[in-house]
Amino acid sequence: MTTTTTTTTTTIRHDGVTIPMSRGGRGRPLVLCPGLNSTQADLRGLAGLLRRDHDVVTFDLRGHGLASAADRYSFEAFLSDLTAVVAELERLRPDEAPLLVGYSLGADLAVHYASEHPGVAGLVLIDGANPVPEPFLTEELLPEFRAMWEEMAEQQEALRGTARQVLPTAREILDLNVEIDAVRSGILDRYRRIDRPISMIMSSSMAGDGAGGHAPRLNRNWRSGVERLVREQPRVAVSWLDADHGLVFTHAPEIARIVRDARAAG
């Protein structure tokens, strides 16, 4: 038997942009933060599962989905979007601290937010916020990833004006990934400032399971980052899924179960 929940939508205006925010479900408040190149429409399946146990808020980062375009795209700008959304939820639900669930870049945003705002219930980080020992985007990989993002930008033309559009250009996406590498180089210090429960849900084959090319090295680097974090912060609970970076789409039921268990443990 399936249970339907009523979802309400609102628009948050801050920093010269408009951010669409949707809310529905029951239970402890939960904020689901998307990643770079993903939208709340992309995460609808996972959000629906989470709403069985949580009062779930989803939203779009600037330049994504139904959010407005911006004159700048940066980690700090995206962090301000998350901060505005949590502030609105706290206005609506001042009775209970929210659980932050972030995917990819959204995980990094959640860690930075929690390191500066102790009033959260805990964090669930999905394939992001990883203190990898080596940068993800090396000089060797730049041409390959530049071509990939240029191709993605062309494919985005068909999504213009829809809930799945992504407005940053290929060049802006490239610059953002370089910035994310720099952010992750210092993210261990952010973890040290957080005294809330933290669970990580990581993909075993973040870059795919191919035996050739760059995938094996990138996957080893990904696992090494998590091992590095757990050595320093043994309290962080880690779950590995046999998946690539698209795990939020391919393994949504497993992720929802881990989030539910993390809530119970917290």
List, in order, residues 6 or more apart from 171 with CB less than 8 Å away. none
Q: What are phi and psi of 33, to 5 degrees?
A: -100, 120
Interior angle at CA 223, CA 133 and CA 217, nearest 5: 75
**Is a pLDDT exceeding 60 seen at residue 2?**
no
Q: pLDDT value at position 47?
A: 98
pLDDT, residue 258, reads 96
Among 12, 10, 59, smallest CA distance to 33 is for 59
Handedness of CA 136, 202, 118, 197 (dihedral sign): negative
Question: Residue 209's pLDDT is what?
Answer: 86
Rounded mean pLDDT, 179-200: 97
- Asked if 262 contacts 124 with a C-beta cutoff of 8 angstroms, the reply is yes
* Predicted confidence (pLDDT) at residue 264 exceeds the cutoff of 80: no
pTM for the model stands at 0.95
Q: Which domains does the chain have, with CATH numbers?
A: 7-265 (3.40.50.1820)
pLDDT in tens, 60-105: 999 999 999 999 899 999 999 999 999 999 999 999 999 999 999 9
Q: What is the pLDDT of residues 131-148, one digit of tens each?
A: 999 998 888 888 888 888
Confidence of residue 58 (pLDDT cuts 50, 70, 90): very high
Q: Which of 39, 59, 47 is nearest to 167 (CA)?
A: 39
Per residue in 196-211, pLDDT tens?
Answer: 999 999 999 999 987 6
